[in-house]
């Protein structure tokens, strides 16, 4: 597995990041540990979790899985969402960040967190308060680098501007949703990250499993899958509309041409997008992980790139269409 620099940070991470959201939930502890070992054996060194995954159990399992291997791994976790019963056990206030980072350090059984990410924007907390608190954690050695997740472009740009103006540690990474189906970050977020040298760590590169090939338009969603087990077919921004089904079919055709799985094609596409550092792959078992690991070490050819671009094209809207018109 290739190594890539983590944006403007001075460390290198593997071109795939192992997501631990399934740890302690869909994947039991033995399976989770086996997946960490398999990922490390394949050359991976980047693991991502969050304090709210499985109510903290994901961090605990991750910490135990990394016992004796902590120095080999760039470890990332997050703070923002409800992590306790109280009204202040949520958000990006100084109080909650302080309490959350100490709890994450205990659960992960580590002295430091390599990448500490705010999980989403918080309308209640002062941005100055959030950024100064995160900066303190860096200077105290509890955190090495900072990142944002699920930010708009103006929120990210404002955060970077405040950090620069006040001499605070800036965000080094952005963790956004990004896949062949969900390409919205290409409008503003991806260009901003490329301009400011932020690493981009896409979550859900298979768009909730839609791009894995396990769903077919003419069939009921299978039980035991995220779509088949949910009350709504797919959550968040995942939509099984005509455009999505066209992309699924295009991915399947490319996969058949190459003798690869649909998941491997979809992950390979995003891994090699300009500006992307390390997509986050998640798995429920070793079989899924092995399939995902097969997404690197090869390249899509120009014909397949064009086929996927055509199928996944999306309206950029105003002012992008106007600017393109003006340039011509």
User: Strand 17-19 to strand 143-149: parallel, antiparallel, or no bridges (unpaired)?
Assistant: unpaired
User: Strand 143-149 to strand 113-118: parallel, antiparallel, or no bridges (unpaired)?
Assistant: parallel
CB atoms within 10 A of CB 188: 15
**Under DSSP, is residue 7 helix (H, G, I), strand (E, B) or coil?**
coil
**Nearest partner of 272 among 311, 305, 248, 244, judged by Cα:** 305
Rounded to the nearest 10 degrees, the angle between the axes of helix 286-293 and helix 29-41 is 20
Structure tokens of 104?
A: 């994450």
CB atoms within 10 A of CB 196: 17
**Nearest partner of 19 among 282, 292, 288, judged by Cα:** 282
The burial of 57, by beta-carbon neighbours within 10 Å (0-12 exposed, 13-18 middle, 19 or more buried), is given as middle
CA 154 to chain centre: 20
151 is catalytic: no
Reduce the secondary structure of 135-183 to three states and give it as a string: HHHHHCCCEEEEEEECCCHHHHHHHHHHHHHHCCCCEEEEECECCCCCC
Give the residue numbers marked as catalytic: 53
């Amino acid at each position: 597995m290739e190594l890539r620099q983590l944006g403007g940070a001075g460390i290198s991470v593997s071109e795939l990041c192992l997501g631990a959201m399934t740890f302690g939930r869909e994947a039991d502890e033995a399976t989770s540990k086996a997946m960490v070992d398999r990922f490390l054996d394949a050359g991976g060194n980047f693991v991502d979790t969050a304090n709210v995954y499985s109510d903290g159990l994901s961090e605990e399992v991750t910490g135990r899985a990394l016992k004796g291997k902590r120095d080999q791994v760039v470890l990332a976790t997050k703070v923002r969402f409800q992590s306790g019963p109280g009204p202040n056990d949520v958000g990006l206030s100084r109080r909650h960040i302080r309490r959350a980072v100490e709890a994450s350090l205990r659960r992960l059984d580590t002295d430091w967190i390599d990448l500490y990410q705010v999980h989403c924007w918080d309308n209640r907390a002062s941005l100055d308060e959030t950024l100064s608190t995160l900066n303190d954690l860096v200077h105290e050695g509890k955190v090495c680098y900072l990142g944002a997740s699920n930010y708009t472009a103006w929120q990210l740009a404002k955060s970077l501007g405040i950090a620069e103006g006040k001499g605070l540690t800036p965000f080094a990474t952005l963790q956004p949703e990004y896949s062949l189906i969900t390409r919205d970050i290409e409008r503003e977020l991806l260009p901003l990250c490329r301009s400011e040298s932020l690493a981009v760590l896409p979550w859900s590169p298979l768009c909730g499993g839609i791009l894995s090939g396990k769903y077919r338009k003419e069939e009921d969603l299978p039980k035991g899958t995220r779509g088949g087990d949910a009350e709504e077919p797919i959550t968040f921004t995942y939509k099984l509309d005509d455009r999505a089904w066209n992309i699924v079919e295009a991915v399947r055709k490319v996969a058949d041409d190459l003798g690869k799985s649909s998941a491997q094609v979809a992950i390979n596409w995003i891994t090699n997008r300009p500006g992307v550092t390390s997509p986050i792959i998640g798995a429920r078992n070793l079989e899924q992980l092995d399939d995902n690991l097969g997404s690197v070490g090869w390249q899509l050819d120009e014909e397949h790139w064009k086929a996927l671009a055509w199928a996944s094209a999306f309206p950029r809207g105003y002012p992008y269409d106007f600017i393109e018109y003006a340039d011509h």
